[in-house]
Structures are given as structure tokens and as C-alpha cells.
Structure 1
Amino acid sequence: METTSSSPVKPRRKDKEEDGRAEQEDSSDQVGEPQRKLPRLSEAVESKEVLLNEKYQQPEITQWLQTAWTEERKTQDTKEGQTGAQVFSDPFQICLLPGMLEQGQSQALVAEIIQKVEWSRKQMDLYEFYQSTDLSNMPTCRLLTNFLQVLRKQVRPWLEKVTHLKLDYVSASCSMYTCGDYLLVHDDLLKDRQVAFIYYLSPWEGAEEWTESQGGCLEIFGSDDQCFPQFPVQRKIAPKDNQFAFFKVGSRSFHQVGEVTTFDYPRLTINGWFHGETNEAFVADSLRAFPRLNYLQPDSNNKPPLCLFLNNVYLKGATRRSIQKRIEENSEICLYEFFKREKFELARSQLLAESSTLKWRRQGPANAHNYEVLDLTTARGTILELLQLFRSHAMFDLLRDFTDLDLSGADADRPTCSVELQRWSHGNYTVLGDGLASEENTLDLVYYLNAAEGAAVITYLSPDAEMPTAKAPADVRRSDYDGEEEDDSVLLTITPVDNALNIVYRCEGTTKFTKYVSRNTPLEKGPVFVISCSYKE
């Protein structure tokens, strides 16, 4: 494919007029929608100020927590009898303080939140939820401002005693997760963050302490020798009204907020960080690289005749020239009914019938990927034939005709490809990271079997967009993909369509992610299967 340096080829942007209409709809929806998701309190508790539970101000409780937090006690979980405070040691230290404020305080805070807080919808690869501005920017919210002062003047010096860390200031905001919202695996490491905290607000009768089935748990991950988070989740902490949780931010402090699955109540918290000196773990973390795809040369031993597999229309010279022109202009195309219908049906039926007997492995690490990949050595039948076809010289020849890339012929140097068969179900995702950024120009192929709306949706982002790391849900991320900033980052979205081959030419630096599959996504027909390939000249 011929390109010019002044006009790099990349996927087409969304139609701006459509985006404009979408922005207007989003903005009008966000004005009242968050407040409608917050159930009213039966009795509004009057409170002039936020008061810290006196039990936690007792010297003996502080001493107990200091002891529980020391190195000698990190091998076991401990619980204090008077307050019910707990310190968990595995996989990293977390402290829970039930009843942090005096009785009735959380109800008063929620009443003020319902009446006065303005919410912003946050949507990106890593998260979907509502967030407020920082508590320091809420002069009309008297109790929330007072809560921030309690964090600054009482909790901060107290935490310094418990953790032996120098803490300079605190940042805090309100977060609301409604049904379907989530925050995926991250470690919170950024610059000067030292201690992360969550204060839970759930004063509604019958919902003071959530069950695991309602979702919204703080889910804690262990990590391997390279500080990569590992499946499965090791510990779950359910939302509990008036409970304060905190942990030391480090290279292994991987956690997520599990998807909220109840429509009855939102997961409401005040959360943030206590900041201090530059976090020493941050430097080591910056050297941690995600695993890369394995690229192989075309398989010379396999010579499948394309006419037995492909829809005949895609073998015609006129069609190939038309596809090449489209890709040169837009850098992407979707080829519907790509394989013969009988081949597609055989492959889909085989995957659904034999999915449990085929050998699948979960693709990690958890802060980058969560989906299943087929062990290609266990493939057979039509599935094996299709996978072999994507790596065959015949496919390299066809893609050369489609794109004018040097994937075969006299000008081809050492073309390579990566082929993967993925299985996508509820809770699966990929997030942005170094491993998903293209280091050079590549050609992506995406082919769906047993497609379902909302499952395995792929978003391509501009190479000009600031590259994020999975650190936090708020101030440090590249622009959320709502509002005007979407035009500057989102280049293309691929939605699942059965037996359609999506071809995307992406230039160096372009990145992508596959959107989290919510449990609200209907998968009655079973999981979605994706043949995902990348080709290099």
C-alpha cells in the first residue's frame, strides 16, 4: 500500500454530524439521569458537621492498628474486638474500619449528595461509572467539605501513625456505580500517591451491607514475580455502609471494582488518595512491559485452495481492485459473508459443540487482558482449516491484492503474521497498554463467529492520543470517549457481525482495546468467537 508521510493512512473517523447528535443526547441525559439512579432516603438526618467515631480516636486502637500493620504481622489477618477493624495481609495489606463516622453521618452525607452533587459520566477502556469533581471544589456542599476536612486534619495524621508514611495532602471525590458499571484491574500507582482509600455510603434500609450477588465488590488480585496481576480474584470486599477501607499503593496493589449487578441501589463511595513523596514503586513499574504477540512466517506446508472456502465474489479481480481502493482511501473495510456459508456454519457449530473439549487458556495479565485463547494444537476439522488458511501463502497473496502491501511476491522481504482464536464471555476485556500499541504499521483481520451485539467490540484509537497506563479511573487517564474529545482519539469501532471479515490497516502508534463484556450483554447463543490476526510486511 502506498502512503505519504504528510498524510498517514489510518482508520476513518466517525461521522462528525452523528457524533454531534450523540453528544447532545449524552449531555441532556446526564443532567438528570444520575440523580434518578439514587433512591431517596426515607428519613433525612440533620447534621451540622461530620464526626469521626470516637472509638477510632482512642490511643489503644491506634496502637493495635500500628502493630497489625508492621512487618512481623503481615503473614496473617487480624481483627480488633472493640471496633471490628480488620487488617488483611494477603495478597497485600488492606485495612477495613467499620463504623468510621458517628451513627447517622453517612445518611446525612448521602442526602446532601442526592440534592447537590453534579455528576460526570466516565467511560473508557478501564471503566464506566459516574464521578463528581474533587471535594475541594464543592463550596455549596457543606457536609462533603466538612468530610474532606476530617480527612485532612484527623485521618491523615492518624494514618501517618499507623502506616509510618509521610502524607502531605488528600484528594477525594464521589463515585457512583449503577447497574452495569465497573472499574477494571489497576494498581493506582501514580507519582506521589501513597495510600488509597474508599469510604462506603449505603444507608438505605436492607442495603447497608451488600451481598456478593449484587456486585460492586472491591476485588483484590495477587501478582507474579514480575508484578503482573494474576487470575483468579483472591479476595472480595463487599460495600458496607459507613466502612472506611485503605491500602498502601505499590507495585502489587492490583484491584478492581466488580460490575454492579443490582438495579436496586447504586454503589456510592467517597474515594481518593493520601499523597506524599514520589512513590518509589512507580519507577520500577514503568519498566514493566506487557507480553507481545508471537509473529510467524507463512506456512509453506499448507496450501488450501481459496475457492473452497471464500465467497466467490471476493476472488474476482474487479472486487479485489475495489477493495484495494477502499482500503487506500479509508484504511479499513468490512467484507460481509466472507467465507462460504456452509464453511461458516460448520465452524460455528463445531466451536459451540466442542468448546468445552477444546483446550482454552485465559489470556492475561489481568491488567491488560481477560479472555480465552484456543491452544491451536487442539484445533481440528473446519476450525483447523480456517486457522491454517489465515497463515497460508494463499491468504498472504490475497491480502497483497486487497491492500497493495508487500505481503508476498518479489518485493516481499520477510512477511509475518499472528493468528489467534479467542473466546469471549461475560466479564472479558482488554485495556489499553504498551502491548496493544502498534510499534510498526500492521494489517489487522477480525472475523466473528456466533456474534452477539455488545460482545468483543473493538475500538481503535489515534496514534496522536496520549498513551495512558492503567493507573486510576479519574484525573490521569487520556480523555474519556464521550464529549468533544472523542473526535481526537476514536478512529474506528468494529461491531460483531457473523461471517464478516474486518480488515484494518493501522499505522505505527495506533492502539486498540476490546470493550468489557457486561453481564447485561445477552449471550443466549453462547460465547462469541473471534479469529484475530495481524500481518506485517
Structure 2
Amino acid sequence: MNCKRQRDDGENAEKGKKRKKREERVKLSPLLEDEDVKKGVKEAWSHRAQYSHGGLELDCHPFPHCIIRNFIQSDSFTENLQRELLDLNFHEKSNDLYKFNQSDDLKKRKEPHITGLRAALFGRFRSWLGEVLGVELEPTVDVSCAKYQYTDVLLCHDDELEGRRVAFILYLVPPWESSDGGTLDLFSTDDHFQPHSVVKSLVPSWNTLVLFEVSPVSFHQETLLLEWLNPLYLDVDYQSQVQQEFEDSSEIQLKNFLKEEKFKEVSEALRSTDVQWTKQGPPNRRCYEVASLVSFPQCVSACWELLCSEAFFLLLSNFTGLRLHYLSPSDEDEEEEKDQEYEEEREATGSSGDTPSANKNNKEPSTPLCVGELRRWAHGSYTLLHDGDASKAEYALDLLLPLSCPDWQTEFGGFTSYVANEEDEELLMVYPEENSLALVYRDKETLKFVKHINHRSSTLPIGDSCRRAVYDFSFVYYE
């Protein structure tokens, strides 16, 4: 029996050797093993800055992308990899957007060099990407080979699909010039996030990998958000946590929302005598002051524009799960994907007929809608409910961003109270809190008012003045 076991072990060892021959281990660029490089890329990516080291270059204009030259160390490996790829069966892909030939998914291919590359992409490279982006990437990696020949084309598009975080291209091309075409053109976007013009063209080069992040928060207006917001709230994973909490309670407060220096700058500017304030009435409805837009100091105007920007609409969509902008994901997107799959299946089988959602009304992209005020509150300020408020109530997301209220006490009043229509019981009270962004979703049966600010508020001086004033940006966003 001992001899038999030894023979079996030998046979197993031989089989193991054969299995190993099915995969050629690939060595990737040593830059991916360099901890200093990894740290530099991670920091630059998070701050949307530039970084370069050796054959690695990170640029965030017009959106974050990274170029890694000599991605695979071995010339013989890349040559054999190219040979294996060219021996695959390719299928012609052609429509209004593209014309090229594409292989099947490479997940199940057994060729040794394809298998080796796949193992590296799914393993070491995916781990490196996860560390650089600061997220836990799913193990799923879609990989195929595209072959472009004379007159082939892939026109302007985005790579956003549900669940996709990173897209990459590994070029295995002969010596290439820009005049040959085939450049990877990166577009700037306009105020509506539509492609505007090519600001950078990358010429394909042998053994070069280009990657870029695909994310709902890659608005191409991120510079505005990065300038103003606490970086914590731009983290995709943290946004998911915020959304979960908001969906559980329909309200949330995001503390230290603006960067400290920006918040202080706006707070100080609001106390400037240059700002023009107008008292709001009538007294049986409201009593507070609203700032004139034309009198805003520059930093206040910039903050106002931030809260009105399309980038901010998309950010709020991520915080709340509401569809406040036509680019934010919705339940309809899943239905559209099913329709597309149905259509592809129908074309493949030669059948005809409407798609499952063909009878639904096609919605045109809607323009983000919000209304806002910059308000000043002091002793004697308030708002009151009115008999006609219930008939005008809509589903909406309320935003409050208070300023200049570091020592505000609950007994001063000045809190926003939410109540059910025709009921006295308060559902929620939102108190003024310095640099804390409050988000509250209300339905048609929910009304709100601001509680009268009493004389106790004037006991806390600001500078040489004993008149206590609180400011807030108040916005309402609609789906």
C-alpha cells in the first residue's frame, strides 16, 4: 500500500506540473509593489492632484485617469499574450456608436498567457486598485479583447454600468502615431455633464495600461465639491452609509459639512454691512430677513452656487437615494437594462414585438429644480403655519445649513419643527447647529414652521454687539 500511495503521489505531482503549465505567471510593473508609489497615487487620487513616478502618471484633468507604461515586465510574455489573443475567435460589433471586432469574455480561456494575465488582474492588480481607491472592490472583473482594424471606430461614450468602479485598457499595438487614429480622447463636460470638447488625447503604445474610475460621483464638477466640502462626504463608501441611515429615518444631520476655512469665511462675510437684508412678512405668516442675491460677498455667492450646482444635486442623490437629477440612478434604470437584454435576445432570434416597457412614456431628462433663501434670524423671528399650506404641500427634500450659532441653546427657540397635517404632535425638530447640514424628506402630509426666537437668544453677544443673529441657507429640492 505504501508503494501504491507513492505512485499515486507521483502521478498527482505529474498532474500538478501539467496544471502549472497551463498558466504562465506574469510579473507586473515593479511600481505596483512600491509602497511609496502606492501611497503617492492614493493621496493624489483622493485629492484629485497630479502624480508621476517612472512609467506611472496620474492626471485628474478632465477626470482622474492613470497611465502605467511597461505594465508587464517580460517582453516575451506580452508577445506570446498577443499571439494567443489574435488566435481567438472574434465577433464583429457594429452600430451607430462603434465598429470593431471583440472576443468572448476571457474568464474561461485556458491559454497559458491569457490565464496568467487574468490571474494577475483578478488578484494582485485588483488589490492594488482597491488600496489606491480606498474601497473594497468586488472580485468580478470583466475582461475581453477588442481588435480595431482600418476604419474601425468607437465614438464618444461613458463606461458607466451598475456596479462598475474602474475601467482599464491594456494596449498591445505595433508602433503607433496619432495620425494613425485610435487615440483615447478625453472630453471635458458642460454644465449639464454632456461631453463638450477633447482636452487630452492618449496615443496607444505597446504594453501600456490606462485606467480610470467609473463612479456616479465622478461628475467632472468635482473640483467645486473638493474645494468646499469635508472630504469625508466625498467618500463613496461613506455616502452609502449616509444613504442607509437616511432611508431608515428620512432625515440626517451631517456635521462639519463644509471645510472649516470655507465655513469661517462665509460666516464672517455674512456679518458684513454690505449684505442687504429684507424683512419678510406678513406678520401672520412669517417674520425673518432674507439676503439680496446681488449683495452677496464673493465667498457667499460661491457657496450659494455650490448648493445650486448639478454636482450637488447628484451628491444629494447619493446621500438620500432620491432621484434629484436625471443622471442619478433610479429603479427605472434596472427596467431599461432588462429591456435592452430583451431587445438583444429578440434580435438574436429574429423575433419581433415591443419590449416589455415599450408602452411606458419616455421621459425627457429633467432639469434639476430647487428654491432657496439665505436667511437671518434674531429675537422675534418666526414662521407660522397657514390654512392653505397643506394644499400646497409637495414631496420634497429640505436642506438647512446654519451659520453663526456655536452656542445656540434649545430654549432660545429658532428650531424647525415638522408636524403632521391637522395634528399638534411634533414629528421632528431640527435645531440650529454650527456647520451641520440637515436633510429632511417630507411628504404631502407633513408641514413645517420655525419656532419663535425669544429674548434669551440676545444674552449671547457676538463681538461688541449684544444682538444675537443666526444665519442659514435654506433650500428645497424636488425630484
Please report the TM-score for the alignment, with normalisation by the length of structure 1. Answer: 0.39
Greater percentage in helix: 2
The structure with higher relative contact order (CA 8 Å, sep 6+) is 1
Please report the TM-score for the alignment, with normalisation by the length of structure 2. Answer: 0.43
